[in-house]
Structure 1
Amino acid sequence: MDTLYRTLAGCKRQERQSQEKLYRQFYPVLFALCKNFFEDKHDIVTAINNGMLKVFTNIHQYDESKGEFFNWMYTTVRNAALTMLRDRKRQSVDYVEITEEMELPSAENPFEQLSGNDIQQYLMQLPAATRRICSLFYIDGFSVKEIAAALAISEGTVKWHLSESRTRLKVIFENLL
């Protein structure tokens, strides 16, 4: 951890080598995060770069007493990815509005018994929009209301995608047996 503190101190001094070291250190986990939101590698890298630019620009705002640096950085990059999604205004193509005939989601979490690698593997089998919502709800702990606000869609649409994710994952899990 001492190395991380030295790297962060260098980033606060805007040293390019420290910034590159921090970027390379966390790139794999940030790539996995952004892969939940985008399918195209260019979009994934753009989201990471946008987020890391915010990290480097606002690194003086990081307060060690409020939590670990990784959590602060992860949240900053995730929010940058969500901003990128909102700015694209492509949600009307990606999301299906819920209707009265559609089922509402249950409270069960399909990821409770899985490891991190398994979760990533199964999430990648979901459509992009459903994967985004599923990841925000089950992995990041956002509420339905928070997801709807972050993606500028209705709460009903979020609920439909959660239900859809459980339905599709159930089929995937059943095929494994």
Structure 2
Amino acid sequence: MEFNFLEKSELKDIILRCSKNDRIAQEKLYRSFFGLFYTIAKDYVADHELVTEIINQAFLKIFVNIATFDEKKGPFEGWSKRILQNVCIDIYRREKNRPFTEEISDESAQGYFNEQTHSTIFNEDMAKVFQQLPDMTRKVCQMYLVEGYPHKEIGEVLGLSESTSRWHLMEGKKKLRELLKDKYGE
């Protein structure tokens, strides 16, 4: 996924134009941040359509609230990522209580089992290693290790105590070490 970031002066101009509902500027901002947003959102949900829905909801909130962005409080990238993460968390909470149902035909089952047969724990992509962690442990590790959240915020967002967040991180690190040791040796 390619990240197409803008120059600081260009970003400032685009933010100003977006606050005036300039559709061309909104499209340019969307295209510039889509890759980064996609990478973040796919760590919360696996379904491509749901990832796209999350990104679109996040951009809608960004465009509605862009006039409130204050560069003195931090960079635009951080502000927009925070909005995206909040949308991801809202959708995660909505989806976690929804029962999973999927119709399986003989064709799709055959493709699934062939794909599973050829897949191993030694995948090259680190994201796939993360996916092998239990759901809550993966989310805590993702938020702490990749996105830089402190345990207090992780606990608030996921409805955990700080100590439970720390426990999930410790367990996740231990499991990641095992998985990576299996893959790369000592």
TM-score scaled by length of structure 2: 0.71
SS in 2 for 1:66: coil
Partner of 2:19: 12
**Distance in 2 between residues matched to 1:156 and 1:66, nearest whole Å:** 29
**Distance in 2 between residues matched to 1:20 and 1:131, nearest whole Å:** 32
**Distance in 1 between residues matched to 2:38 and 2:135, nearest whole Å:** 15
Note the C-alpha offset of 1:87: 3.0
SS in 2 for 1:141: coil
Aligned length: 154
1:168 aligns with 2:175: yes
**Distance in 1 between residues matched to 2:62 and 2:37, nearest whole Å:** 12
When residues 153 and 90 of structure 1 are mapped into structure 2, their CA distance, relative to the original with a 3 A threshold, is farther
Of 58, 62, 65, the match for 2:69: 62
Stretch moving more, 150-159 or 140-149: 150-159
Partner of 1:151: 158
Of 91, 94, 110, the match for 1:87: 94
Residues 66-85 of structure 1: per-residue CA shift (max 9 Å, x gap):
22111111111111111222
Identity %: 31
Give matches, 1:29-108, under 5 Å.
Answer: 29-90=36-97
Partner of 1:135: 142
Structure with larger Rg: 2
**Distance in 2 between residues matched to 1:157 and 1:168, nearest whole Å:** 16
Question: Structure 2, unaligned stretches of length 5 or more?
Answer: 1-6, 101-123
- Judge conservation of contact 1:86–1:152 (CA < 8 Å) in 2: no
**Distance in 2 between residues matched to 1:140 and 1:59, nearest whole Å:** 22
Residues 92-128 of structure 1: per-residue CA shift (max 9 Å, x gap):
x9xxxxxxxxxxxxxxxxxxxxxxx975454344344
- Judge conservation of contact 1:62–1:69 (CA < 8 Å) in 2: yes
TM-score scaled by length of structure 1: 0.74
Note the C-alpha offset of 1:25: 0.5
Which structure has more RCO (C-alpha within 8 Å, separation ≥ 6)? 1
**Distance in 2 between residues matched to 1:140 and 1:80, nearest whole Å:** 15
- Judge conservation of contact 1:34–1:78 (CA < 8 Å) in 2: yes
SS in 1 for 2:72: helix
When residues 143 and 54 of structure 1 are mapped into structure 2, their CA distance, relative to the original with a 3 A threshold, is same
- Judge conservation of contact 1:36–1:128 (CA < 8 Å) in 2: no
When residues 66 and 156 of structure 1 are mapped into structure 2, their CA distance, relative to the original with a 3 A threshold, is closer
Residues 29-79 of structure 1: per-residue CA shift (max 9 Å, x gap):
111111121111122122211111111110011011222111111111111
Question: Structure 1, unaligned stretches of length 5 or more?
Answer: 94-116
